[in-house]
Structure 1
Amino acid sequence: MAGIFVGELLTLSMMAFALGMDAFSVGLGMGMIKLRKQQIFHIGLIIGLFHVIMPLVGMATGRFLSGALGVLAIYIGGALLLMLGIQMMLASFKQSEERLISPEGPGLLIFAIGVSLDSFSVGLSLGIYGSKPIVTIALFGLFSMVLTWVGLLVGKKVQSWLGSYSEALGGAILIGFGLKLLLPI
């Protein structure tokens, strides 16, 4: 019995790590915007929270909607990331500090939803499988929160090295990630 739980825990941890790597990648791009440590903390916390909420909602939704919303969620997430990346690229060429979407307030919610939509799809699948919801969402939230923080901090370091070009690079990363979701190869 304990071996089955350890095996399931290992499987769920690998899934949580994979979903968290999405958050890391996007955090890396977003971290190239000048962010304060407090903003980095809040961004990681919110993304971790959404990586708890989205799979939980997905698990609750279950088998009925799995096929239709699974693919739709990926396309919505890709479009949001593409939009954020384009906005970052455009902002890097302007002198203005004002952004259409910023990683705070409503912009942070849009960012968090975009990053965590794939965990909704995974939640749909896990709901069918009958996975333990508490363990699953705890691992998803923890991995994505920590990996977002790591991505944001690495992005912040790269930003200090690249200066004004870092925001364009961050936008390019988000555009690439959005295209990867929209145009699976």
Structure 2
Amino acid sequence: MIEEHVGEFVSLVFMAFALGMDAFSVSLGMGMQLIRLKRIAYIGIVIGVFHMIMPFIGIMLGKAISGQIGDVTVFIGSLLLIVIGTQMFFSAFNHEAKKIIQPTGIGLILFAISVSLDSFSVGLSLGMSGVKTFIALLLFGGASMVLTWAGMILGKKVHGFLGVYSEMLGGAILCVFGLLLLFN
């Protein structure tokens, strides 16, 4: 019983890290702008909040769907994680120049939504599998907030080297958890 809870917690920690890697990679580029530390702190908090709101909506919707269609939900949830992870992995190879959104006002909201959309889909699949909602949301929000801060601060020193590799790592982690959910 305890092993199951520890295993679920460890899985959620890795999943939170994988979801936060998208925010980390985008924050690297944004960190290359001249942004004060106070602003970086605020941006990280906003990203963390959105990484809690989006999966919450997904988890609630996933729980509602799982009650309707039963055993198929674990299969659908695992496939969703695999698809999201694959898309995240291969999007790292898209070398087109991305426009950097200014991290103020509506630009910050759009930035927060764009990096937390994948967490909605992950929340949907987690809701279907019956995960502990509160713990998942805290981990997702906390990891994305810290990774956003780290990305923006590192972005001042690193010029794009880690961005592609962090998205690839995050995508690979999501794929592995999708496969684990599928075959367990």
Q: TM-score with structure 2 length normalisation?
A: 0.68
In the alignment, which residue of structure 2 is the partner of 1:48? 48
Query: Which SS does the other structure have where 1:87 is aligned?
Result: coil
Q: Distance in 2 between matches of 1:5 and 1:14?
A: 14
Q: Distance in 2 between matches of 1:149 and 1:87?
A: 20
1:4 aligns with 2:1: no
List 4+ stretches of structure 1 deviating above 6 A.
none
After TM superposition, the structure 1 = structure 2 runs for residues 1-185 of structure 1, keeping only pairs within 5 Å, are 1-62=1-62, 64=65, 86-88=98-100, 101-158=101-158
Shift of 1:59: 0.7
Q: Distance in 2 between matches of 1:157 and 1:105?
A: 26
Query: Which SS does the other structure have where 2:141 is aligned?
Result: helix
Identity among equivalent pairs (%): 51
Letter in structure 1 aligned against 2:45:
L
Q: Distance in 1 between matches of 2:25 and 2:99?
A: 17
- How large is the RMSD of aligned CA atoms in angstroms? 3.1
Q: Is the 8 A contact 1:39 1:104 kept in 2?
A: no
Q: Is the 8 A contact 1:102 1:108 kept in 2?
A: yes
Question: How many pairs does the alignment contain?
Answer: 146
Shift of 1:106: 0.9
Q: Is the 8 A contact 1:44 1:145 kept in 2?
A: yes
Gaps of 5+ in 1: 76-81, 89-100, 159-165
Q: Distance in 2 between matches of 1:157 and 1:41?
A: 17
Q: Is the 8 A contact 1:16 1:139 kept in 2?
A: yes
Q: Distance in 2 between matches of 1:34 and 1:157?
A: 12
In the alignment, which residue of structure 2 is the partner of 1:92? none
Q: Distance in 2 between matches of 1:26 and 1:45?
A: 15
Q: Is the 8 A contact 1:48 1:145 kept in 2?
A: yes
Shift of 1:138: 0.4
Shift of 1:22: 1.4
